Amino acid sequence: MNQEYTLSVFSEDHIGILNQITIILTRRQINIDSITASESAVRGVHLITIVVRTTPELIQKVVRQMEKVIDVLKVFAHTSEEIVYQEIALFKVPTKVMMSGNIVDQVVRNHNGRLVEVTPEYMVIEKTGHKDEIIELLRFLEKHGILQFVRSGRIAITRQVKELHSYLKEMDTATRSKIPEESIYN
């Protein structure tokens, strides 16, 4: 049975890494629902967050295969219950339409939208939340006219306290144990 997974791929910042990772998913015919890339909390380490729908068995195979890519440090697969996640969306709507009635009030109060820019021609509204909340606001605004709409990919952090930092410490400890002691202090 297919389930939604969020992959957190920690890697070095090298050209072509994203291509290598997406090829692994393509070969297994796994569609990418969302993808984002950014720096992580660890200097020199980047995070690629990928949302996919697949089986538990296949996700484990994908994780193992991704970890074989040279520039990939570690891959974690999480279900939605194991992470805190958000998306962001921007809506560009005509100012004239939004100013009639209490539409702006509904957007701000009922949908937790935020006005980012207001001009005589258009307003830009920002909405942060889960995909279903963003789609709900989209459906509401479609009735009043949308000039532009864009939604980001998922960003996520785990609910567990330790993850990458502890893994990197374990790698460092393992590396140090393989180096002769006199090399460490010279």
If we measure between CA atoms, which residue out of 84, 129, 88, 85 comes closest to residue 111? 129
Distance from C-alpha of 130 to C-alpha of 64, rounded to nearest angstrom: 28
Distance from C-alpha of 85 to C-alpha of 146, rounded to nearest angstrom: 26
Q: What is the pLDDT along the chain (186 residues), one digit of tens a residue?
A: 899 999 999 999 899 999 999 999 999 999 999 999 999 888 888 999 999 999 999 999 999 999 999 899 999 999 999 999 999 999 999 999 888 878 888 888 899 999 999 999 999 999 999 999 999 999 999 998 999 999 999 999 888 766 666 666 665 565 555 544 444 444
Distance from C-alpha of 184 to C-alpha of 176, rounded to nearest angstrom: 8
- Residue 184: its pLDDT value, please? 43
Helices 17-27 and 56-67: crossing angle in degrees, nearest 10, is 150
Domains in the chain and their CATH numbers? 3-78 (3.30.70.260), 84-151 (3.30.70.1150)
Distance from C-alpha of 99 to C-alpha of 107, rounded to nearest angstrom: 12
First to last CA, the chain: 56
